[in-house]
Amino acid sequence: MEHNLKRCPICGKKPKAKIQDWSYNGMGAYVTIRCKPFLRKEHLSVMSGKATLERAIQYAVEDWNNTSK
């Protein structure tokens, strides 16, 4: 997922995105962007759920980038 995600403001690493797309059966799509360094606890996470995958990605990226200021 290359959507100009900013690096984590806490550790400076690149975040990971998890996409769950159930929009084909009317349940919507969910995108979780999180930073969890190897073998450590997650320290920053953003989740967005919308009716379509494109909107879920858009809102999750916007939320992440706003949190990373």
pLDDT in tens, 15-42: 988 988 886 677 788 999 999 877 777 7
Q: What is the largest CA-CA distance in the chain?
A: 38
Mean pLDDT along residues 1-13: 82
pLDDT of residue 2: 57
Return the structure tokens found at 3. Answer: 């959507």
Tokens representing residue 67 in the block: 């949190």
Tell me the percentage of the chain whose pLDDT exceeds 70: 90
C-alpha to C-alpha distance for 32 and 21, rounded to whole angstroms? 11
Predicted structure pTM score: 0.79
Task: Please give the average per-residue pLDDT across 38-61, as a whole number.
Answer: 85
pLDDT(62) > 90: yes
